[in-house]
Amino acid sequence: MSNNAKDFIQERCKERAKEKDSSVYTNVSIRLDPKYALMLQSLSKEYNFSISTSFTDLIKQHLIDIAISLDEKDFKNIISPHDGAWFSSDSALKELQSEGIIQQTSFDL
């Protein structure tokens, strides 16, 4: 499989998974400046992509960058309370946990 075809089908699979597993996702309305909203509509039409699912992974990646860029005080307030927590889905916090930035879950069995 060529890389382009592989990327294409992987993206479609991800989109389908998001549609299927809607219980861990919420649709959020964002107010955008018309300049950007109209460009987004145009790009979505020309490149045939779904607006709603396209930003899910982008937002997650930005949140990872945001979390690691926070100063110590803000990091302790926002991220540290999640140390040892269990994350149910493919979220930024789960990714931070697998990177060792958030303490891993520990179960007492």
Partner 1 sequence: MNNEEKATARQDLVDSNSLGFKLVQHLEELRKGGEKPSKLNKKTMTATVKVNDEDLNFLSDLAKTFEVSRNYILQMLVQNDIKTMFSNISSDNVEIDQAILADGVDSAISEKGFKHEYRGKTWYWDTVQRDPDFGNPERAKGLLEI
For residue 14, state whether it binds partner 1 (rule: CB under 8 A).
no
How many other CB atoms sit within 10 Å of the CB of residue 61? Answer: 12
- Of 45, 44, 48, 50, the closest CA to residue 15 belongs to 50
**Contact pick of 7, 10, 12, 89 for partner 1 (by CB under 8 A):** 89
SS3 78: helix
| Euclidean distance between CA atoms 40 and 17, whole angstroms | 23
For residue 93, state whether it binds partner 1 (rule: CB under 8 A).
yes
For residue 17, state whether it binds partner 1 (rule: CB under 8 A).
no
Size of the site for partner 1 (CB under 8 A): 60
SS3 88: coil
Residues of span 28-87 touching partner 1 by CB under 8 A: 28-40, 42-43, 46-47, 51-56, 58-72, 74-75, 77-78, 87
CA torsion sign for 7, 12, 13, 18 is positive
Q: Which is nearer to partner 1, 6 or 36 (CB)?
A: 36
Residues that bind partner 1 (CB under 8 A): 18, 22, 24-40, 42-43, 46-47, 51-56, 58-72, 74-75, 77-78, 87-94, 99-101, 103
